[in-house]
Amino acid sequence: MDFTVSEETREMLNLMEQFVRKELIPMETAFLTKSFAEIEPEIEKKRKKVRQMGLWAPAQPKDYGGMGLSLMDFALVSEVLGQTPLGHYVFGCHAPDAGNIEILYDHGTPEQKKKWLEPLVKGEIRSCFSMTEVELPGSNPVMMDTTAVKNGSDYVINGQKWYTTAADGAAFAIVMAVTDPDAAPHSQASMIIVPTGTPGFDLVRNIAVMGHTEDGAFSHGEVLYHSCRVPQSNLLGPEGAGFRIAQERLAPGRIHHTMRWLGICRRALDLMCKRAVTRPIAPGKVLADKDIIQAWIAESAAEIAAARALTIETAWKIENFGFKEVREEISMIKFVVANVMQRVVDRALQVYGGLGMTDDTIIAFFYRQERAARIYDGADEVHKLSLARRILKPYRAKADELKEGNGVFR
């Protein structure tokens, strides 16, 4: 495997690293204490700078104004930008827009691309992705109550969704809804574009996460679709292809997420070390003198390195062999990296003590927002069971053969 990084990519990553450190991290205090609307003008100034530097939309297609980076190169970008909550948004590669751009690019009609894809890549509008439902398990994407029923030339959509990220202020939603309840489970749902100004699209609330309610691009909305009527021309791809399209989005999206989480790990470890060498605990002694703190730092560094190696290898395999050949690794990185991130952030918070519980540092934000990493995109437990079944399958097939020899395995 060749994991060589080109000199051009190194220079790009260095520019992004410097921008994150000098331009974005100093904005975090405002980000944590003000509404999105209040800081949006300053964020737009940063986005303008990114465009002027030629670093806008690194993951998006060149023919629509993006940089068109490979999955491997964008994985490295995502790690750098993940060090701050503002990173991906300021560089025009944030969720859910990044995934919605992929869907529109691969499955949108020329009219849909003109109306929605072009301004989305340019950062002129925002979008949201409406899939998770309140009463049903998000870990089972074929279970869905939201329906889209044909009526004349329209679909009439009814249902309740939540954790519709960035619905607050979005121009449109991509909605997963059942269009054929009698079809096979994986062919029942479709993806449909719903402009948020459509009658019957009701943003009920921005959901509070551990007591904090975000707004704008960082919100998590509960959306009620009640007799929401859109033209059938808003269908993305073939009818009944919603699950398949979601699966196509999954593999690169998993890399984007896990590398972003590794960026959070880098930041948390950096903060932990700075705190450890500067926090006095007794005359002439600092936290870094304690064996347990040194152990946490060593464990964190090793766990980050191992998780990163697994993720980079997985990205390389996806690029070279395709999604279907890397299903085991894709499951692995989900729960491995999410758990490494939680441990590293938790250790950083512990090292900061009472200060870590406040919004005077970014650690508490990471702690409350990223705990969900072990839940969304499939709960850890689901991925572990799925992975174990695939690993055990060939062993089960030759179980009788393995029994021979009085239990002695050869």
The 10s digit of each residue's pLDDT in 387-407 is 999 999 999 998 888 887 555
Cα(106)–Cα(191) distance, integer angstroms: 13
pLDDT tens-place string over residues 34-63: 999 999 999 999 999 999 999 999 999 999
Crossing angle of helices 363-370 and 327-352, rounded to 10°: 140
| Domains of the chain and any CATH numbers | 7-94 (1.10.540.10), 127-239 (2.40.110.10), 243-397 (1.20.140.10)
**Residues of the chain above pLDDT 90, percent:** 89
For 219-267, what is each residue's pLDDT tens digit? 999 999 999 999 999 999 999 999 999 988 887 889 999 999 999 999 9
Of 111, 99, 253, the residue nearest 176 (C-alpha) = 99
- In 3D space, the residue among 173, 333, 176 whose CA is nearest the CA of residue 251 turns out to be 333
Classify burial at 47, counting beta carbons within 10 Å of its beta carbon; exposed 0-12, middle 13-18, buried 19 or more: middle
Q: What are 268's two structure tokens?
A: 């948390």
Helix, strand, coil in percent for the chain, rounding step 5: 60, 15, 25
Q: Tens of pLDDT along 134-157?
A: 988 766 777 899 999 999 999 999
Q: Which of 330, 317, 341 is nearest to 382 (CA)?
A: 330
Q: How confident is the model over 87-122, as pLDDT tens digits?
A: 999 999 999 999 999 999 999 999 999 999 999 999
What pLDDT score was predicted for residue 377? Answer: 81
Q: What integer pLDDT is reported at residue 324 of this predicted model?
A: 84
Helix axes 363-370, 242-278, angle to 10 degrees: 150
Closest CA relative to residue 12, chosen from 89, 95, 65, 80: 80
Nearest by Cα to 51 from 149, 117, 108, 123? 123
Round to whole Å and give the CA distance between 327 and 389: 12
